[in-house]
Chains A and B, each alone.
Chain A
Amino acid sequence: MAKGAKRPFGAVPGRMAAWIGRHVSFFIFAVLAVLATLCVRNFAARDNLVIILKQSAIPAVACIGMTMVLMTGGIDLSLGYIVGLASIIAGILAKTLLLPVPEVVLAVLLVGALIGLANGLITQYLRVPAFIATLGSGYVIYGLAQIVSQGSIVNRLPKGFLAIGRTDVLGLPSAVFIAAGVALGFHILISRAIFGRQLRAFGFSPKAAALSGVPTARINVLVYAISGTLAALAGLLFTIRVNAAQPNMGGGVFTFEVVTAAIVGGTSLFGGIGSVAGSILGVLSIKIIENCINLLGVSYHLYLAVQGAIILVAIIVGNLTHHRA
């Protein structure tokens, strides 16, 4: 108050900086979109934009779960491996065992949920740091997926199963609408519901939250279960898109992409800060980068390097601001 009174003009840029800070993911997205439109040929073509949407749908679903885990101050490194296990299970159930489609979907989501639940219970009650717990469980899952698949790929999946994500709606595959629906649901949950508020409070300050009656243990376990379920859904949609169930799908590369997207979306690695809208914009942003790298004919590995750089910069910036606060 006193500072504002002394420098009436000083407050305005500060407030604007804060506003930009809060909507940083939108600015990143907007700048990237404008730059790509101006500098990369064919970027703004309708077909190319549809490709970006199609490619964003699957990581977007996974990124919502990761965002919630990051908001608690944890991380889910098993996410990409759950995608692979979900894929091979879906393939076996749908093609080899010829199970009805709803049962396949439920079974795959349930596997994801149970793995996530285990991650949550290990971090919450056995006090294993999330980083270690999910790295370990991720490799367990990866190994299991290889064993289950016996090293082979299940392709040419049943039409009824493929229809979940491939049905054409208004020129877009249904997978995009599934992702949009999931995003809308979780947006409301995180930004409007009691659960979301308690999740944020827990992420910022677990002690204060617990003393205010927030069921911190339940929330901490639940976010991993949600992350696992959404990873399984992502695996399902991925399998449908490529029409092949394979245990190597997802993996560490996918986990890394999802974490990068969440960070570009404004999620803090220190907990408390994150939003579905931000994470969706984060996914779109990094998919624009990937798309441009493709269109320009540059090595795909540049995309990986860019992701690594983004995470490093985010951690460094986070550290600087965190310690100053």
Chain B
Amino acid sequence: MNETLIAMRGITKFIYGSDGKPIRNTDVKILNGVDFDLAAGEVHVLVGENGAGKSTLMKILGGIIPPDAGELHIGGQKVDLLNARDAREKGIAFIHQELNLCPNLDVAHNMFLGREPRRHWVKDAATMYERSSALLQALSCDLDPRTLVARLSTAQQQIVEIAKAMSFASRVVIMDEPTASLTKREIDVLFDLIRRMRADGMGIVYISHRFEEFLEVGDRLSVLRDGRSVGGMRMSDFDPDTVIHMMAGHAIDEMYPRTHAVQDDRVLEVQGLRLTPRTPPIDLTVNRGEVVGLGGLVGSGRTELAKSIFGVRAFAGGQVRYLGRDTTGWSPGRLIAAGMAYLSEDRKTEGLVLGMNIRENTSLASLSSVATLGLISRRKEQTQAAGLIAQLSIVAQSAEQAVATLSGGNQQKCVLGKWLSTEPRLLILDEPTRGIDVGAKAQIHKLIDQIAGTGVAVLMISSELPELIGMSDRVYIMRAGAVVADLAAGPELTQEQVVAYSCLGER
């Protein structure tokens, strides 16, 4: 085996509470004693479900966040990375999914940003253009270093990032889903580049969900699940079933309530909806009293679909039929009045008004029901808030407590309370239990079941496979802006199936 560039040993990262302090007395950790190696001249593929810890592990390697425990060895020496700059100087380049270039500067200025070559205190532009030109040519790229970055395609920007990494004499390059926004041809160019870097003895960490791509370019594969390394293999021994099994995990050890019953009335019918002009049409239905799960990887278009249904995102074609009417183009306000509700995945900026208290948040979407002639009745509003605090077991001193001071679970209950106040007929839940503690999670699961039991149609986006399978009557899986599967849920549906559809688009 080649020289080892990177060795990470026992890397651990705790989850952090809302007070910014690590929570140590729990088994749940973002990373739990992870080992990771990278040799010179290899492409090491890192896979795992949403939230498995891939990004956190790479942020630690990139010096962006420090580990809470564990050791990092670079070239056989134990080091502590101070920050991203320190990591870069030690030869580790991180190419983020969102590229970090200044669009208003040209290629060369971006490559040498903050470390422009100087002569007598003055920027030495000639040397800078010469060196950037040489770096680009080394990548067999004929890009003019004087081109403005704003004029470059995403693929070209990526090449600039890679050239920038080379200029630091990086030996390790981390690529986080580099192909996410590239066309097939651009991907081929990128892969050529990766092969060339590998031949030059560099080590590449390649994070991706796309099996067909990493099979083409990878040498070795490691799987993370729930913050632990669960195994790996050489790409020559690759077997999709094994990998899917490793990603998905085993038994569903939690119990999910299921007292609701699906009725015949159709509440939501999405017909041929295209998220963008280039993605295929989506069909989807939700009935009264039905919990429909929407699975898939982050970025597969689940939130975009939900926001398209809820009237806050324009889509490229097709229509949304809600309660028998075409509601395409309706505003959220009009849809809310008609009984539609959308609980956002982003609780802090889209779910709650953090400057307001519980009472004001829970009534925000149903103000007309607590008002007479446009004037809010404080008494009615207080009664409503008190009722929700009791019904949802929100732990708070009073309805006047600022929501910013509540725990994540109680905040989420407030958002749920806001939507229950609107007496919804369709409740769209986007990651309803993300980032909340186990107790609150179980309570929210119970509430969702109860809500469906009253005849509400529920469409639930979830990245947590047990929750998705355990709560839903039916599950749609999305991949790259398309619905690739419509599966009956229940114990017979396995996590492996969901992962296979999410990553491969087929089973």
Q: Which residues of A contact B (CB under 8 A)?
A: 1, 188, 192-195, 197-198, 200-201, 204-205, 207-215, 272-273, 325
Check A210 against B397 for contact (C-beta < 8 Å): no
Check A211 against B337 for contact (C-beta < 8 Å): no
Residue B371 CB within 8 A of the other chain = yes
Closest-CB distance, A46 to chain B (whole angstroms): 37
- Chain B residues with CB under 8 Å of A273's CB are 355
Check B364 against A214 for contact (C-beta < 8 Å): yes
Of B344, B354, B356, B395, which contacts A211 at CB under 8 A?
B344
| CB nearest neighbor in B for A209 | B353
| CB nearest neighbor in A for B404 | A325
Closest-CB distance, B344 to chain A (whole angstroms): 6
Residue pairs across A and B with CB atoms within 8 Å: the count is: 80
- Chain B residues with CB under 8 Å of A211's CB are 310, 312, 332, 342, 344, 350-351
Residue B445 CB within 8 A of the other chain = no
Check A205 against B354 for contact (C-beta < 8 Å): yes
Check A194 against B397 for contact (C-beta < 8 Å): no
Residue B148 CB within 8 A of the other chain = no
With contact pairs A1-B397, A213-B332 given, residues A204 and B356 touching in the complex (Cβ less than 8 Å):
yes
- Chain A residues with CB under 8 Å of B354's CB are 204-205
Check B353 against A208 for contact (C-beta < 8 Å): yes
Check A208 against B333 for contact (C-beta < 8 Å): no
Check A205 against B353 for contact (C-beta < 8 Å): yes
| CB nearest neighbor in A for B406 | A1
With contact pairs A208-B353, A209-B353 given, residues A201 and B364 touching in the complex (Cβ less than 8 Å):
yes
- Cα A260 to Cα B193 in complex, Å, equals 59
Closest-CB distance, A12 to chain B (whole angstroms): 14
Check B395 against A201 for contact (C-beta < 8 Å): no
Of A192, A210, A272, which contacts B312 at CB under 8 A?
A210
- Chain B residues with CB under 8 Å of A213's CB are 331-333, 335-337, 365
Residue B491 CB within 8 A of the other chain = no
- Chain A residues with CB under 8 Å of B404's CB are 325
- Chain A residues with CB under 8 Å of B355's CB are 200, 204-205, 272-273
Check A208 against B351 for contact (C-beta < 8 Å): yes
Check A194 against B367 for contact (C-beta < 8 Å): yes
Residue B374 CB within 8 A of the other chain = yes
Check A197 against B337 for contact (C-beta < 8 Å): no
| CB nearest neighbor in A for B351 | A208
With contact pairs A197-B364, A215-B331 given, residues A207 and B349 touching in the complex (Cβ less than 8 Å):
yes
Q: 1/0 per position for B329-370, CB-CB distance to A under 8 A?
A: 001110111000010100001111111100010011101100
- Chain A residues with CB under 8 Å of B367's CB are 194, 197-198
Check A193 against B364 for contact (C-beta < 8 Å): no
Residue B113 CB within 8 A of the other chain = no
| CB nearest neighbor in B for A203 | B355
- Cα A240 to Cα B349 in complex, Å, equals 47
Check B395 against A1 for contact (C-beta < 8 Å): yes
Closest-CB distance, A110 to chain B (whole angstroms): 24
Check B344 against A193 for contact (C-beta < 8 Å): no
* 14 A-B residue pairs with CB within 8 Å: A188-B375, A192-B375, A193-B376, A194-B367, A195-B374, A197-B367, A198-B367, A205-B349, A208-B350, A208-B353, A210-B332, A211-B350, A212-B336, A212-B418
Interface centre among A208, A211, A212, A273 (most CB of B within 10 A): A212
- Chain B residues with CB under 8 Å of A197's CB are 360, 363-364, 367, 376
| CB nearest neighbor in B for A191 | B376
Closest-CB distance, A271 to chain B (whole angstroms): 9
| CB nearest neighbor in B for A217 | B331
- Cα A110 to Cα B354 in complex, Å, equals 37
